[in-house]
Amino acid sequence: MSDEILENAVNGKVWADFCDNLKEAGQIILDNSTDELDRLEGFRYLSRLTRGGLGRLENHGPGYAQILPIAHNLKIGCDNPDALYQSVGIKGAFDYRIHGPRGTVNYLSLNSFSGGFWQGAPPPGRQGALAFNHPQPNEYVDVIASINEPELEPGQRWLPTGPETNQIAIRNFYLDRTTERPSELQIECLNGPSDPVPPLSAQKLTMGLARAALEVHGIARRFVEWLDMFQERPNTLEFLPTHDKPGGWGDPTQLFRHGYWTLEPGQALVIDVPPIEAYYWNFQLNNIWEESLDYEWLQVTVNKHSAVYEPDGTARIIVADEDPGFANWIDTAHHRHGTMGLRYNQVVEDIPPALRVMNVADLESLR
């Protein structure tokens, strides 16, 4: 570590640079919105991204890996309201054991990733993926994450990594949050350093603050690009172009449609999700920044379990400002526009949904 890094860290220059870089991210919000609510939520979005980026400073490094909670309400790239997301920073050179009770949550997955969305990061990529369906009583997860396939103990599974792997992401998908319990996993580095946890270094502080600012810029810009794409065909749900998919950071078991919705007062968006054979599916409404709307308090999402179905198995979803008296109403939460997502998990055959804009006064014709 150079004397300059230490000097800049202790004299406040590193912190001042972080604050200056963070301030510049505000222009992304100003340049891509005119609506007051969009801007208010946009600046809150930057604050959430900042909390998420700074959380990495609480990890002692890949040799002392920990599964830490993701910042409350950190929402990125059409986050799933049915999901509990967790992640842990690792290094491909190390081997890890991830283990603990699986819980009763409907779906659990572990993915090993490389790259990232911060400015200047290598393109995202996925090295390994594991899925756990159909929870069993007292089920225990026991996974070895490593580059080379290990000799596994009975009941263990292998999560492949690569030299470039820097993160393991854990997804718990609920069908019903009120009755299901998430997994309780922990991680240990099997061939890491034997020394005690080191003190905070000037280099770690410098790199941590710099990366946090780069993540705010990179993530905000990345999903503004999605918004620009979706606005070209409003009120439709389509797959991302192959060249524009977010690398290997998605769950490989999913088919995921995205779109931009916009409604005038007195209008509703009717979405018919056809009968499909899928382990899980959900529809959700987001703001323009690709953050799910406030699912803790408002009806802004529906899934395979919560949906009410038509006699032919279709799930008819109606997006409107006020409850029109249909089962699968989705609240716009005071928004006039935003983004939306429909994901199918482990679907047997992809069948696209049908979308149409109607006047609320004409919805009775659908009964």
Q: Looking at the structure, do residues 216 and 237 belong to the same domain, yes or no?
A: no
**DSSP codes of every residue in 347-364:** ESS----EEEEEEGGGGG
Residue 227: inside a domain: no
What is the distance between the alpha carbons of residues 136 and 106, in angstroms, rounded to a whole number?
Answer: 10
Residue 270: inside a domain: yes
Q: Which domain holds residue 95?
A: 61-193
pTM, entire model: 0.95
Angle at 43 between CA 84 and CA 232, to 5 degrees: 80
Residue 114: inside a domain: yes
Residue 272: inside a domain: yes
Q: Region 288-295: what's the mean pLDDT?
A: 98
What is the distance between the alpha carbons of residues 92 and 122, in angstroms, rounded to a whole number?
Answer: 15
Q: Looking at the structure, do residues 361 and 236 belong to the same domain, yes or no?
A: yes
The model's pLDDT over 224-234, given as tens digits with 9 standing for 90+, comes to 999 999 999 99
Q: How far is CA 179 from CA 83, 84, 104, 131, 304, in A?
A: 14, 14, 9, 21, 15
Angle at 134 between CA 128 and CA 139, to 5 degrees: 80
Q: Looking at the structure, do residues 204 and 262 belong to the same domain, yes or no?
A: no
Q: How many CB atoms lie within 10 A of CB 294?
A: 13
Q: Looking at the structure, do residues 128 and 163 belong to the same domain, yes or no?
A: yes
The confidence score (pLDDT) of residue 241 equals 83
The confidence score (pLDDT) of residue 248 equals 57
Q: Looking at the structure, do residues 88 and 172 belong to the same domain, yes or no?
A: yes
Q: Check which CATH number belongs to the domain holding 260 and give it.
A: 2.60.120.600
Residue 268: inside a domain: yes
Q: Looking at the structure, do residues 146 and 113 belong to the same domain, yes or no?
A: yes
Q: Looking at the structure, do residues 206 and 241 belong to the same domain, yes or no?
A: no
Q: Check which CATH number belongs to the domain holding 88 and give it.
A: 2.60.120
**290 close to 226: Cβ distance less than 8 angstroms:** yes
Residue 162: inside a domain: yes
The model's pLDDT over 23-60, given as tens digits with 9 standing for 90+, comes to 999 999 999 999 999 999 999 999 999 999 999 899 89
Range from 125-129, 247-251, 307-311 that averages highest in pLDDT: 307-311
In terms of Cα–Cα distance, which of 156, 159, 165, 151 is closest to 62? 165
User: How many domains are contained in the chain?
Assistant: 3
Q: Looking at the structure, do residues 206 and 256 belong to the same domain, yes or no?
A: no
Q: Looking at the structure, do residues 348 and 269 belong to the same domain, yes or no?
A: yes
Q: Looking at the structure, do residues 93 and 242 belong to the same domain, yes or no?
A: no
Q: Looking at the structure, do residues 314 and 344 belong to the same domain, yes or no?
A: yes
The confidence score (pLDDT) of residue 244 equals 61
Q: Looking at the structure, do residues 66 and 49 belong to the same domain, yes or no?
A: no
The model's pLDDT over 215-268, given as tens digits with 9 standing for 90+, comes to 999 999 999 999 999 999 999 999 988 766 555 578 889 999 999 999 999 999
What is the distance between the alpha carbons of residues 102 and 99, in angstroms, rounded to a whole number?
Answer: 9
